[in-house]
Structure 1
Amino acid sequence: MNPKLSATRLALASVALALWLPAQAQNVAIVNGKPVPKARVDTLLQQATRGGQQPVTPELEARAREEVVLREIFTQEAERRGIAQGAAYKAQMELARQTILIRELFADWQKNHPVTEAEARAEYDKFKAQASGTEYRARHILVAAEDEAKKLIAQIKGGASFDELAKKHSTDTGSAANGGDLDFAKPDAYVAEFGQALARLQKGQMTDAPVKTQFGWHIIRLEDTRDAQFPAFDDVRPQIEQQIGQVKMQQYQQSLRDKAKTDFKFGQ
């Protein structure tokens, strides 16, 4: 054998191998002679972890690799049978195309229009101003009949324990176990009759007469008052930003709808 020819063939084989290895690194597998690119795995993982809902783990990546290979196997069979030429397939593909485009449009808009700290703080300050005022810590006993409520008031005035009577007689199971304790809340958090009666009480004072609401007859005692509490900005910032982002997105969508020229009448 010609030594020069052997060296040439060896060099060509080395070049071919060098070109083949990077190509193989970009593919997950070969299915019936057709390569399955690794980019499909990356795209599937991006979809699965969109928004940071779950991290990319070796197990998740392994499932993604299996998924793209299975998809290629099934897709090749569908194409072999001519399904891609059917009207139903084409109609669904158009809907899928629109869905992907719309999703990416909104994702791109959100990326370029993030909620600023100033916007979040302004909304926080508005909520905080609305929540300002006085909170009242009340206990109550709820019963079905006015006469029963009057008897319990008499017993309490005679020295009976409000807490024990609440545990024994109150039909409000949520607070009865805690001696009728309702914790701190603003009067407007309750039905009007209850809130108004509560706001007229002094600390330690109990209603002299039962208070009727849609739920029955209440005996109310005011335990304490305090300035309304509100969480720190950093504690609620994610929720505020999410809410503002949703509003801004709705406004963006509405602006596109308003600018569009169409004879369609929405809401009909």
Structure 2
Amino acid sequence: MKRIALALAALTLSAPLYAQNVATVNGKAITQKSVDQFVSLLVTQGATDSPQLREQVKQELITREVLLQAAEKAGVAKQPEVQTELDLTRQGILVRALQADFLKKNPVTDAQVQAEYNKLKAEQGNQQEYKVRHILVEDEKLANDLTAQLTGKKAKFEDLAKKNSKDPGSAERGGELGWAPASNYVQPFAQAVTALKKGEISAKPVQTQFGWHVIQVEDARPVEFPPLDQVRPQIEEMLRQQAFTTYRNGLREKAKVQ
């Protein structure tokens, strides 16, 4: 009875040590820690920790170890191109880790986000957006003829656009481009849009790299700036990138490069 008790005690003591390895491949151990780290990485990418995921990770690590051993046996790690790729991969991992460490130690604050939001809102607060229609044709003569028909009220803009416009994206909608700031358009199309008043049609066709445009501005309004909560993630990411770029440039300036 005493020997059985001692044997059970021995199994109890050795169990945690044995549990550290989930498998061995040709004598090479795959540890529980490796599985946990792999699972944690997948969870950060959106996966859900579960027994099924852990089993998949275990099998993946076994397959990788089999292939790794085969690669080492074949000597592929000694090939110059493989060494270069390994070095570049290592560099990339370390740079990403450095960036993550820097951003963790230098988080973006609410005050910084608010200040940047106020700045962007002030810069773009006076922007206008326009509801535009256009007719795109290849020939200037046809463009002038269409303009004359419109200014003489001999035809409707929508009808002429459907019949003549070469822009497949808007022709079926009667030339309608929807609401957009003038900056969305190429020059001199954008310049013509900002010069037209509500309801006006361009007095002369406007030429761009796409052809000749007859333009009508149906309406105009101030651009509605989105609330802070809606754009916070984009602002935070922009500020993080700016902060790391400043840090990176500072390191470059201090480095002794010959």
The TM-score range, normalised by the shorter chain, is: 0.7 to 0.9
What residue number does 2:216 align with?
221
Provide the aligned C-alpha RMSD in A.
Answer: 3.1
Identity of aligned residues (%): 43
Alignment of 1:17-32 (within 5 A): 17-32=11-26
2:178 to 180, 183, 186: 183
1:95 and 1:208 mapped to 2: Cα distance?
Answer: 59
The change in CA–CA distance for 1:130 and 1:171 in structure 2 (over 3 A counts) is farther
247-256 or 123-132: bigger deviation: 123-132
TM-score (norm 1): 0.79
Q: Which amino acid aligns with 2:216?
A: R
Deviation at residue 109 of structure 1 after TM alignment: 1.4
The change in CA–CA distance for 1:14 and 1:256 in structure 2 (over 3 A counts) is same
What residue number does 2:31 align with?
37
Alignment of 1:144-223 (within 5 A): 144-156=138-150, 157-223=152-218
Deviation at residue 161 of structure 1 after TM alignment: 1.6
The 8 Å contact of residues 136 and 187 in structure 1, kept in 2 or not, is answered as yes
The 8 Å contact of residues 39 and 57 in structure 2, kept in 1 or not, is answered as yes
Deviation at residue 232 of structure 1 after TM alignment: 2.2
The 8 Å contact of residues 134 and 226 in structure 1, kept in 2 or not, is answered as yes
**Residue 41 (structure 2) pairs with residue 47 (structure 1):** yes
Deviation at residue 226 of structure 1 after TM alignment: 0.8
1:99 and 1:164 mapped to 2: Cα distance?
Answer: 57
What residue number does 1:64 align with?
57
The change in CA–CA distance for 1:141 and 1:253 in structure 2 (over 3 A counts) is same
1:98 and 1:212 mapped to 2: Cα distance?
Answer: 50
Q: Which amino acid aligns with 2:222?
A: D
What residue number does 1:231 align with?
226
The 8 Å contact of residues 71 and 77 in structure 2, kept in 1 or not, is answered as no
Alignment partner of 1:249: what SS? helix
Alignment partner of 2:49: what SS? coil
Deviation at residue 152 of structure 1 after TM alignment: 1.6
- Structure 2: any 5+ residue segments left out of the alignment? none
Deviation at residue 115 of structure 1 after TM alignment: 1.8
| Count, aligned residues | 255
1:30 and 1:166 mapped to 2: Cα distance?
Answer: 72
Alignment partner of 1:173: what SS? coil
241-250 or 97-106: bigger deviation: 97-106
The change in CA–CA distance for 1:56 and 1:135 in structure 2 (over 3 A counts) is same
What residue number does 1:108 align with?
101
Deviation at residue 90 of structure 1 after TM alignment: 8.5
What residue number does 1:3 align with?
none
2:71 and 2:208 mapped to 1: Cα distance?
Answer: 67
Q: Which amino acid aligns with 2:220?
A: T
Q: Which amino acid aligns with 1:110?
A: L
What residue number does 1:255 align with?
250
The 8 Å contact of residues 84 and 90 in structure 1, kept in 2 or not, is answered as no
The change in CA–CA distance for 1:57 and 1:238 in structure 2 (over 3 A counts) is farther
2:245 and 2:33 mapped to 1: Cα distance?
Answer: 33
Deviation at residue 124 of structure 1 after TM alignment: 2.5
1:82 and 1:145 mapped to 2: Cα distance?
Answer: 67
1:59 and 1:30 mapped to 2: Cα distance?
Answer: 20
Deviation digits for residues 66-123 of structure 1 (CA, Å, limit 9, x no counterpart)? 12233444556677x5969969798887766655544433222121112222222322
1:86 and 1:213 mapped to 2: Cα distance?
Answer: 57
2:129 and 2:168 mapped to 1: Cα distance?
Answer: 22
Alignment partner of 2:178: what SS? strand
1:12 to 6, 9, 13: 6
The 8 Å contact of residues 137 and 183 in structure 1, kept in 2 or not, is answered as yes
1:129 to 117, 122, 142: 122
The 8 Å contact of residues 41 and 65 in structure 1, kept in 2 or not, is answered as yes
Q: Which amino acid aligns with 1:203?
A: K
